Every structure is written in structure tokens, then in C-alpha cells.
Amino acid sequence: MCSPCASNTLPEEYRAIAGDLFPPGGKGSSVEAARAFAVVLGIDEEYNEVWNTHKSGQAPREFLDRFQNNLDLLIQKTWVEKVDEIRKEKLQDRVPPLIALIEKEDYSGALEEFGAILEELAYLFFGVQSQKDDFTEYALRIDTQMGLFWWYGGQISGARKAPWIKNADKDVLLALLFLGICYLTNF
């Protein structure tokens, strides 16, 4: 999945928010930037609820169960060629380890795994189009919020290889995870 920079791909009204989420130069994001991006994605209420549950010291287990159930349904209902059925099965098998990483508070590992899951999910939804340089533009033409989500997915996928992820603040990593998880839970 491609991860073009915000200034080249995204509509003008989203560039500042997107730039704050993944600042140039490989520096990490912030919890506030994730909250602002949740508003743009239309998931701010659920995002804030999950974030507040986490900050109160409670594990968001019910939320993670809903995410896993919804992602399983999305994967199962996605029509693919017979040759890609194995990809669907392998993708479903990756979700429980992601949940386990989150529960162990290994947010760096979870973000890396989530990036890989998003790459596969994009492929299942969009086929080889998801691997082209203009994928974000393509997704934005279909639906702005969905395009912004797949732009985020490309950034997460790229972050897997970025050095800042290993040293980022746990709250920032969790905030980035919650963005994608909330979006997919409501997809």
C-alpha cells in the first residue's frame, strides 16, 4: 500500500491535520493529532470513548472484541478470486495475535502488525490497485473519509519500517492504533 505524503495527495482541507498526524522527517505523532484525525474520519465519539476507557485504567476488552468480530465479518464477506481465499484465511489468523499484542501493551509490535493487516485488507478490498502509487487518490475519489483512512493505513504501513516507532511514547502508539481500530469497527 502506498504512502504518499500529505501535501501531494490529500485535499487541501485535510493536509494540516494529516501532516500533524505523521509529521515529516520521521518524527512521531501526538495524541492530540490522533484525536483531530478521528474527527475527520467521523469516529471521534467512539475514539474518545475508547481512549477514556483506556485512560481510566480499564482494558477496552469489549471494544477489542467488537473490532475482531467486525474485522472477521469484513474479511469473510469480501469477495475474492479463488486463488486469494488463502489470503483471507491467513489475514483472519493475524487478528488474535494483534489483540494479544495490544493486551500485553506491546503497542510498537501491535502497530507493526496492524500495518501488515491493513496492507492485506486493502489488497482484499481493492486488489492490485492497493499497491499502486495512486491508491490514495483512487480511494479519495470513492469516498473522502475512506480515502483518508487508507492514506492513514499507508502511513501506518510505512511506520512499521520507521525508526521512531521503536522509541515512540506508548500513548501515541496506542492513539494511532485506536484510530484504525475504531474506523474498522464501524466500517
Flag whether 1 is in a domain.
Answer: no
Q: What is the pLDDT of residues 115-150, one digit of tens each?
A: 999 999 999 999 899 999 999 999 999 999 999 999
DSSP label at 25?
G
Predicted confidence at residue 2, as pLDDT, reads 45
Domain of residue 103 covers: 6-185
Q: How far apart are CA 55 and CA 71, in angstroms?
A: 24
Average pLDDT over residues 167-171: 83
Pick from 144, 113, 140, 152: which is nearest to 33 by CA?
A: 152
Separation CA 63–CA 74 (nearest Å): 16
156 found inside a domain: yes
Q: What are phi and psi of 59, to 5 degrees?
A: -80, 135
Q: How confident is the model at residue 85 (pLDDT cuts 50, 70, 90)?
A: confident
- Domains of the chain: total: 1
d(CA 86, CA 92) in angstroms, rounded, equals: 10
Q: What is the pLDDT of residues 10-36, one digit of tens each?
A: 889 898 888 888 876 556 678 899 999
Is residue 170 a part of any domain in this protein? Answer: yes
Cell of 124: 482484499
Unique residue bearing C-alpha cell 500513548: 171
pTM: 0.88
Residue 169 lies inside a defined structural domain of this protein: yes
Give dist(CA 131, CA 122) in Å, integer: 9
pLDDT score at 168: 78
CA-to-CA distance for 56 and 74, rounded, in angstroms?
30
pLDDT grade for 3, boundaries at 50, 70 and 90: very low
